Amino acid sequence: MTEIPEHLLKRAKAAREKSADAPADAAASAEGSGTGGAAASEPAADPRIPAHLLERSRAARSKGDGGGDAAGGGGVAVADKVGAVVTAAPAGGGVPVGAGPGGHTQRLLTVVKSGSIQEVKAAPVDKVHTWPHLLAAEFVAALACLVFTFLFSVWVNAPLYEVANANATPNPSKAPWYFMGLQELLAWFHPMIAGVTIPGVALIVLVFAPYIDKNPSNKPEDRKFATSLMTVHLMFWAVLTIIGSFFRGPGFNFVLPWVDGLFFHL
């Protein structure tokens, strides 16, 4: 059973006490003024009580008393402002007219809490499923790379040369493009610094970067430290690779490719 709020119970109790005292007061005033018991049978009309409830109460009282006993009739139904119907107890005691099971004189229609029932999330969610959002984009990118490689191999000949001669070292002798950055560092620093110290420090910084920058956001404007670190790393090796590939000529000396020619082969 639904629990009745405390303020409704207090209001119903006050209404019962008021309706129980009203017939006795009306009967006493009628006897004193000589108007008889007929005037005491009708309590003063309450403007808050609907007309159909008054009629129903009068009909029930007339039916219970045989139409003659006005003082011992049923109580008056009172409708409060929150949707609960209250039936006053009769003056002579007993179960009130219109009472429910157990003699309860209140019937709770509804109680609606303030606020919306369902929570509305205005903030957009920046997470998507791996399939199909991520894998579909990766599959399209792989197909694009495959088509580019196929067309490039059709129109560009492979750099095939004669068999290598151990007695003739090409000049300049350059490493593959992915090692050109290290070869360029060797032209500037000691082999221990260029081959071990600088690459080792760069790898250690990249390994500890996720523990230094713990920002969970994946937006570039919120990850300035990580973005700056990766930009410096890529630009450092990209500049070394470009210089070693296009700006180094015979003897690994610095040359201008638009003046001395291009000493780079795929």
- Rounded to whole angstroms, the Cα distance separating 84 from 247 reads 92
pLDDT, position 237: 92
Mean pLDDT of 146-174: 85
Mean pLDDT comparison of 38-52, 135-149, 154-168, highest-scoring range: 135-149
Cα–Cα distance, 73 to 19 (Å, whole number) = 12
Model confidence pLDDT, tens digit, residues 90-118: 555 555 555 555 556 666 566 666 665 66
Dihedral angle of Cα 30, 32, 33, 34, to the nearest 10 degrees = 80
The residue with greater pLDDT, 57 or 28, is 57
Average pLDDT over residues 235-258: 92
Per-residue model confidence (pLDDT) at position 50:
77
pLDDT of residue 214 exceeding 60: yes
Which residue's entry shows tokens 């405390």?
6
| 121 or 89, which is more confident | 121
Q: Which of residues 193 and 112 earns the better pLDDT score?
A: 193
Average pLDDT over residues 24-31: 58
147 pLDDT above the threshold of 90: yes
Res 53: pLDDT = 79
Lowest average pLDDT, out of 118-127, 196-205, 241-250, goes to 118-127
Burial of 40 (0-12, 13-18, 19+ CB in 10 A): buried
* Residue with more model confidence, 229 or 25: 229
CATH (residue range 170-266): 1.10.287
Q: Are strands 84-87 and 106-108 parallel, antiparallel or unpaired?
A: antiparallel
If you average pLDDT over every residue of the chain, what do you get? 76
The widest CA-to-CA distance across the chain, in whole angstroms, is 147
Strands 106-108 and 77-79: unpaired
